[in-house]
Structure 1
Amino acid sequence: MRINIFRRTKRALCGLFSVVTRDTSVRLMSVIGILVIAAALWLNINGIEFIVVLVIAFSVITLEGINTILERVIDLVEPRYKDMIKEIKDALAGFVLLACVGAAVVGILIFWPYVVEKFF
C-alpha cells in the first residue's frame, strides 16, 4: 500500500512539474505566488493573515493549472476553431482573471497596514 501512495505521489508531482515547466501562465502565477509568500514572511504578517495569503496564492496557481489543462483537453477533443470553443476558453480565462483580481484586492487589504508600518 505504501508503494502505491509513493508511486501516486510521484506521478502527481511529475504531472505538476510538467504543467509548471511547459506553461508560461502557470509558471508566472507560481513565481508571483512565491513572491507574495516571501513578502508575507518578510513583512511578518500575523498567522491568520498568512494562512489567508497561502490559501489564496495556491488557489490562484491551482485555478490557472486547471485552466491550462482544460484548454489542452479542449484542443485535443476539438482541434478546429469554433465559436463555442472560443467561448469556453474565454470563460475559463475570465474566471482565472476574476480570481486574480480577488486575490489582488485581498492582498492589498492584508499587506497595506504592514507596508505602511514598515516604510512610513
Structure 2
Amino acid sequence: MDSRDKPVRLWKSFSYALTGIKTALWLERNMRIHLIASIFVIGCSLYFSISKFEWLFVIVAIGGIFSLELINTAIERVVDMITDKYHPLAKQAKDLAAGAVFIYAVTAVVIGIFIFLPHVLRWL
C-alpha cells in the first residue's frame, strides 16, 4: 500500500461516519429530538455564559447521547437484518441498547439541572 493512499482512506472513513450521522438524523426520530434538545441547551449555555468547566460537561453530555443513540440504532439495524421473527435474545439486545441510551439521557438531564438551575434561579 502506498502512503499516499492513507489520506484518501482517512477521508473516506470520515465520509462514511458523516453519512451514518445524516442517515440517523433523517430516519431516527430520537436523533432529531436529541438534536433539537442539544440546540436548545447550546442556546441556553450561550445565553447564561456558562463557564468553560460547565461547557465541558455540556459537550460530553451532548456527544455521549448522540454516540449512544448511533450505537443503539446500529444494534437495532443488525438485529433486524439478522431476523424478522420475534426472538427473545433479539428483543433483549434491542432493549439493552435502548436502556443504555435512557440511562445516559437521564444522566444528561441531571447534568443539565446541576448546570442550569442556579443560572435560571438567578435569572428569576
Identity of aligned residues (%): 31
Give the C-alpha shift of residue 112 in structure 1: 0.8
User: Which residue is equivalent to 1:103?
Assistant: 108
Partner of 2:33: 28
2:45 counterpart (20, 29, 40): 40
TM-score, normalization: structure 2? 0.87
> For the residues of structure 2 that align with 1:54 and 1:28, how far apart are their CA atoms?
17
Q: Deviation digits for residues 21-45 of structure 1, max 9, x if unmatched? A: 1111112112212211221111111
Taking structure 1 as the reference length, the TM-score comes to 0.90
Q: Aligned residue for 1:114?
A: 119
User: Structure 2 matches for 1:1-120, cutoff 5 A?
Assistant: 1-119=6-124
RMSD (CA atoms): 1.3
Q: State the secondary structure of the residue aligned to 2:86.
A: coil
Q: Which residue of 1 aligns with 2:3?
A: none
Tell me, which stretches of 5 or more residues in structure 2 are unaligned?
Answer: 1-5
Over residues 51-102 of structure 1, what are the superposed CA-to-partner deviations in whole Å (9 max), with x where a residue is unaligned?
1111111101111111011101111012211122112211211111111111
For structure 1, the 5+ residue unaligned runs are none
Are 2:45 and 2:55, in contact at CA under 8 Å, matched by a contact in 1? yes
Aligned length: 119
Contact 1:40 1:50 in 2 (8 A): yes
**CA contact 2:76–2:94 (8 Å) conserved in 1:** yes
